Amino acid sequence: MIKNGISTAVVKRLPRYYRYLGELMEAGTERISSGELSKLMNVTASQIRQDLNNFGGFGQQGYGYNVEYLYNEIGRLLGVDRRHNIIVVGSGHLGQAIANYTNFERRGFIVKGMFDKNPDIIGRNVRGIKIMGMEEIGEFIKKNKIEIAALTLPKQQAPEIAENLVAYGIKGIWNFAHVDLKLPKGIVVENVHLSESLMRLSYNLTTRDEK
Amino acid sequence: MIKNGISTAVVKRLPRYYRYLGELMEAGTERISSGELSKLMNVTASQIRQDLNNFGGFGQQGYGYNVEYLYNEIGRLLGVDRRHNIIVVGSGHLGQAIANYTNFERRGFIVKGMFDKNPDIIGRNVRGIKIMGMEEIGEFIKKNKIEIAALTLPKQQAPEIAENLVAYGIKGIWNFAHVDLKLPKGIVVENVHLSESLMRLSYNLTTRDEK
């Protein structure tokens, strides 16, 4: 059993381990040493040992890690061993891109419904998922046991809509709006601020030029 | 003048300072103390002082920070005071969402061209930006002084195309494909791994449930 209480820094790295272990499994690799994993992932072997030690006793001297076991344990910790029902709130291009990612579905994240306030797109289908009007959202969340909402709408609308979603029972918000949401304790918010990412890229380009 | 050599952790936080300072400017605020900024941003005042001290001598006791000055200096550091020409490689929903963000343009990131290998969408326009075939990409980069490429295509295609882009002169890659790119030193890669973000959300939901 993997213990909880893992540091935020390690949590940030877990999905990357999960991805590499998944690719190793697909390639038929049964065991891997921290040294081999180090070369593959471009991380020091000691960092890998330290990170994976959080889960206790998999790595064995001269034997390495059992890829499938580690993959499954990390997957369980990441919650991808169970099903998460998602809605997409804001059905523009970004919302549609998310609904179209079948890879999320493979990991147990199922987009059950999409919402928008634009009457021109309400009623349309994206990969069989219907775009509904905002007034239907509350009932839909309750009926379909929706846990996560992807917020893909302009930042002006996001705070109020996020509060409503929480009132309707949403537990996690995947926030693409460029604003910090202030929500009750216990509600999980994961931000994807694309313009901040683009500015970091630009920062690194700028300092690179000045070197 | 802002000095270089700022730690990665501070760089990560810079775009957020930039956003809040921009909003303060829009609201007509001329000066702000670290205490006020701390409340607004939900960060300790000492962290704010430490971060902003990197830029030397703006904060003055009993006077606070000059919002506009700080905004402009951080903007300069982030490279948003100059123009960056971008192409979008992979013109599906995600690529189109990026081309449609007029906010990026306001910050000097101009999408000059879009590319795809799908003949059904080549020739289409997104906000006046033409979708071209992949064979045109090399000449387009050189002719239009393109600096940054947003890679919004499946992970299988990403590594080879990224290498080609670098050979054509691209300096920065905004990578949305779920793969780590191995590129020559000096090329800047900024990753946006959406499925890893979703798994972190799921992790936090899972451990929250177990508490």
pTM of this structure: 0.90
Q: How confident is the model at residue A3 (pLDDT cuts 50, 70, 90)?
A: very low
Shortest CA gap A40–chain B (Å): 10
Query: Hey, is the C-beta of B174 within 8 angstroms of any chain A C-beta?
Result: yes
More confident residue, A26 or A59: A26
CA distances from A68 to A30, A53, A115, B107, B151 (A): 7, 16, 38, 45, 31
List chain B pLDDT tens, one digit each, 211 residues.
Answer: 344 567 888 888 999 999 999 999 999 999 999 899 999 999 999 999 888 887 655 566 667 889 998 999 899 989 999 999 999 999 999 999 999 988 898 889 999 999 999 999 999 999 999 999 999 999 999 999 999 999 999 999 999 999 999 999 999 999 999 999 999 999 999 999 999 999 999 999 988 766 5
The verdict on A94 touching B (C-beta cutoff 8 Å) is yes
CB of A188 within 8 Å of a chain B CB? The answer is yes
Tens of pLDDT, residue by residue over A157-207, are: 999 999 999 999 999 999 999 999 999 999 999 999 999 999 999 999 988
Q: Does domain A84-196 have CATH number 2.40.50.140?
A: no
Is the alpha carbon torsion for A63, A65, A67, A70 positive or negative? positive
Does residue B7 sit at the A interface (CB-CB below 8 Å)? Answer: no
Residue A188 Cα, gap to closest chain B Cα (Å): 6
Judge whether A167 is closer than 8 Å to chain B, CB to CB: no
Given CB atoms, is A180 within the 8 Å cutoff of chain B? yes
Q: Are A37 and A48 in contact (CB under 8 A)?
A: yes
Residues sharing a CB contact under 8 Å with residue A89, sequence separation 6 or more, in sequence order: A95, A114, A115, A137, A149, A150, A151, A152, A153, A161, A165
Per CB-CB distance under 8 Å, the chain A contacts of B203 are: 11, 14, 77-79
B contact test, residue of A203, A207, A208 with most B CBs within 10 A: A203
Q: Between B45-53 and B34-41, two packed helices, what is the crossing angle to 10 degrees?
A: 110
Inform me whether the C-beta atom of residue B178 falls under 8 Å from chain A C-beta atoms. yes
Are A199 and B80 in contact (CB < 8 Å)?
A: yes
CB pairs under 8 A between A and B: 166
CB contact under 8 A, A206 and B98: no
Q: Do B96 and A100 touch (CB under 8 A)?
A: no
Interface contact A104, partner B, CB < 8 A: yes
Residues 38-77 on A with a CB inside 8 Å of B are 41-42, 77
Give whole-number Cα distances, B160 to B138, B154, B176, B189, B194, in Å. Answer: 14, 11, 14, 15, 21
- Name the pairing type of β-strands B148-151 and B172-175: parallel
Taking the CA of residue A204 and the nearest CA in chain B, the distance in Å comes to: 7
Fold of the A8-77 domain: Arc Repressor Mutant, subunit A (1.10.10)
Calculate how close chain B gets to A26, using CA atoms only, in Å. Answer: 14
Nearest to B195 among A103, A200, A202 (CB): A103
Look at residues A68, A175, A195, A77 and name the one whose alpha carbon lies nearest to residue B98. Answer: A195
CA-based nearest residue in chain B for residue A98: B94
- Give tens-digit pLDDT for A86-141: 999 999 999 999 999 888 988 899 999 999 999 999 999 999 999 999 999 999 99
Partners of B192 on chain A (C-beta within 8 Å) are 192, 194, 197
ipTM greater than cut 0.85: yes
B2 touches chain A (CB under 8 A): no
A107 touches chain B (CB under 8 A): yes
Distance CA B19, CA B23 (A): 6
Residue A181 and residue A159 in contact, taking contact as beta carbons nearer than 8 Å? yes
Same fold, A8-77 and A84-196: no
CB of B18 within 8 Å of any CB in chain A? yes
Q: Where are the domains of chain B?
A: 8-77, 84-196
Q: Which residues of A171-184 are buried (b: 16+ CB within 10 A; e: fewer)?
A: bbbbbbbbbbbebe
Query: What residues contact B39, with CB distance under 8 A and at least 6 apart?
Result: none
Q: Which residues of A touch B18 (CB under 8 A)?
A: 199
